[in-house]
Structure 1
Amino acid sequence: MWIVAAFITMICFGTNNMIFKWSTTNGLSKIHIQFVFYLVAFILTASYAVISGIHQMDIITMILGAVIGILNANGNIQMSKAFEKGPASLTSPLVSVNTIIPILSAALIFNEHITILQWVGIIVILGSAILIQYSPQASGGSIQYMPWLSRILFAIFSFGVLGILMKTSSYLHIDSLNTLICMYGGGAIYLCINSLLARENWQKAELKSGTLVGLFSIFGYSCYFFALNTGTASIVFPIVSLSCLVVVLGGCWIFKERLRSYQVVGVLSAVLGIILTKI
């Protein structure tokens, strides 16, 4: 069941990334959509906790959850900004390289064994990342290369550290509902501050998009915690990172993006690397 939960998380995260890409192409505020998404998710998770009976909170849970929420919000913002600078079908696979960070932490911090095949997968993923971004003019010169790459690196760092903290929460046996409440609450406060500083005009579509993302996020993260609590982290993380496939296919189908032949090879080898890391 935990593998199924990991795949559901993959689909939910991939769908949300496509919504972020769509919102970027339609001039909607990344911060506003994220704020609505976090606020809706916080209200729903907190309401469920009140109805079902919330477990006792402690300072570690609140801090850990809030940091996870801030990292996730920042990672999504950086990825959305990367979508502005380059194609979704390249951006998402590169951001998914963040799976290497929690996989290594699973071995070094949580003493999970990494097989030779998984090490091969990690190397393939890194090589694929280099291949995918080989030429700054890979997509007809439409990529603003250095800004695009810097946003991707920031997103990789945020999502990578987030994965470590997710595993830490599971390792400490912290109730996943408490973590979600603190995650969405902390993220909402962080994004509220960002929204006040940015002073962007609100649009009605941002409310609808943010609410939809919030619903997918609750379902996805609930499955994510279940998979981490009952399964093997070094397998869960790569499966979740396959969310890039949803964006790759969506980018080519919905946004009519085109890839060079060597970039197709890079995307496919990245997927192969991710699969090897979960064997």
Structure 2
Amino acid sequence: MWIVAAFITMICFGLNNIIFKWSTGKGYSKVHIQFFFYFVAFLLSLGYGMIVGMAQFNLLTIGLGALIGILNANGNIQMSKAFEKGPASLTSPLIGTNALFPILSAALIFHEHITPMQWVGIVLMLGSAIVIQYSPKAGGNIQYSSWIIRIILAIFSFGALGILMKTSSYLHFDSLNTLISMYGGGSIYLAINSLVGKEKWILREANTGALVGLISVIGYSSYFFALNTGTASIVFPIVSLNCLIVVLGGCWVFKEKLKKYQLFGVVAAVLGIVFTKI
């Protein structure tokens, strides 16, 4: 079931990225869409907790959950800014390497055993994620110093997020409490970002953000379940394959054509998944 949960997370994250891509073309603010999705997700998770009952909150759970939310929001902001400063063909693969940090932490810090066959699968999945997102003909002006800084910040944010997610499950923190803290902390962080940036608010951003929030609740609930019951070093590369959903969604929604090297990446991803289950 934890493999299924990891796949649900992958699909949810991929769907959200497609929505983010669509909203960018509409000129919507990434900060505002994230704020609405965090706030709606906070209300949904808090409402669910009040109905079914919640474990008692403590400062460590609140602090860790809020930090996860802030890191995720900041990683998305830094990634979008990196796309504006440099080539997308290099930005996506470089930021995608953040999955190595939680994978290595699962083996070194949390002492998970990874078989040689599973390592082959992990390498195949990470490699396919890079290949799928690579676009050799991407051009544009590159502002190297700003671009590199944004990439480093995004890698740190997403990498640290993965390690903290595993830490939360390792310490047996209540997943619902962590989710509520995550969405609450992220909402406050994004509200501050909006006030500092003085961006204009658009009503349609709320509708889009609400949809993303609903999908996010499903995705992160599955993420915590997968980490609590499965092998984190396998969960992380599966989740990183959300780019598969983005590529396939791009073909269907945006009428983009799948390139030969992307088809190769899809096949490598499937092989990687098979190897990790052996």
Normalising by structure 1, we get a TM-score of 0.85
2-side partners of 1:84 and 1:257: how far apart?
Answer: 21
Change (3 A) 1:275 1:133: same
Measured against aligned partners, the alpha-carbon deviations of 1:133-167 in whole angstroms (never above 9, x if no partner) come to: 888xx225247484666544433322221111111
**Which residue is 1:26 aligned to?**
26
1:1-279 matched pairs, under 5 angstroms? 1-84=1-84, 95-121=95-121, 138-142=136-140, 144=142, 146=144, 151-257=150-256, 263-264=261-262, 267-268=265-266, 271=269, 275=273, 278-279=276-277
Name the SS of the counterpart of 2:113 in structure 1. Answer: coil
Q: How far 1:108 sits from its partner (Å)?
A: 0.5
Measured against aligned partners, the alpha-carbon deviations of 1:62-105 in whole angstroms (never above 9, x if no partner) come to: 11001100011112223333455678788656544322211100
Runs of 5+ consecutive residues of structure 1 not aligned to the other structure = none
Change (3 A) 1:131 1:91: same
1-side partners of 2:266 and 2:143: how far apart?
Answer: 22
CA contact (8 A) 1:101 1:164 kept: yes
Measured against aligned partners, the alpha-carbon deviations of 1:216-265 in whole angstroms (never above 9, x if no partner) come to: 0001111111111111111211211111101122234433456765x537
User: What is the count of residue pairs matched by the alignment?
Assistant: 276
CA contact (8 A) 1:33 1:210 kept: yes
Change (3 A) 1:260 1:114: same
1-side partners of 2:268 and 2:75: how far apart?
Answer: 20
Change (3 A) 1:237 1:126: closer
Q: Specify the code of the residue in structure 1 equivalent to 2:23.
A: S
Measured against aligned partners, the alpha-carbon deviations of 1:161-218 in whole angstroms (never above 9, x if no partner) come to: 1111111110111000000010001101100100100111111221011000000000
CA contact (8 A) 1:122 1:273 kept: no
CA contact (8 A) 1:24 1:80 kept: no
Q: Specify the code of the residue in structure 1 equivalent to 2:49.
A: A
1-side partners of 2:128 and 2:229: how far apart?
Answer: 31
2-side partners of 1:9 and 1:268: how far apart?
Answer: 18
2-side partners of 1:139 and 1:251: how far apart?
Answer: 17
Change (3 A) 1:12 1:265: closer
1-side partners of 2:258 and 2:43: how far apart?
Answer: 41
CA contact (8 A) 2:122 2:234 kept: no
Q: Specify the code of the residue in structure 2 equivalent to 1:229.
A: N
2-side partners of 1:91 and 1:258: how far apart?
Answer: 20
Change (3 A) 1:51 1:268: closer
2-side partners of 1:234 and 1:203: how far apart?
Answer: 40
Normalising by structure 2, we get a TM-score of 0.85
- The CA RMSD measured in Å over matched residues stands at 3.1
2-side partners of 1:131 and 1:238: how far apart?
Answer: 14
Q: Work out the percentage of aligned pairs sharing the same amino acid.
A: 67
2-side partners of 1:220 and 1:272: how far apart?
Answer: 21
CA contact (8 A) 2:132 2:266 kept: no
2-side partners of 1:248 and 1:268: how far apart?
Answer: 10
CA contact (8 A) 1:118 1:278 kept: yes
2-side partners of 1:126 and 1:143: how far apart?
Answer: 28
CA contact (8 A) 1:66 1:184 kept: yes
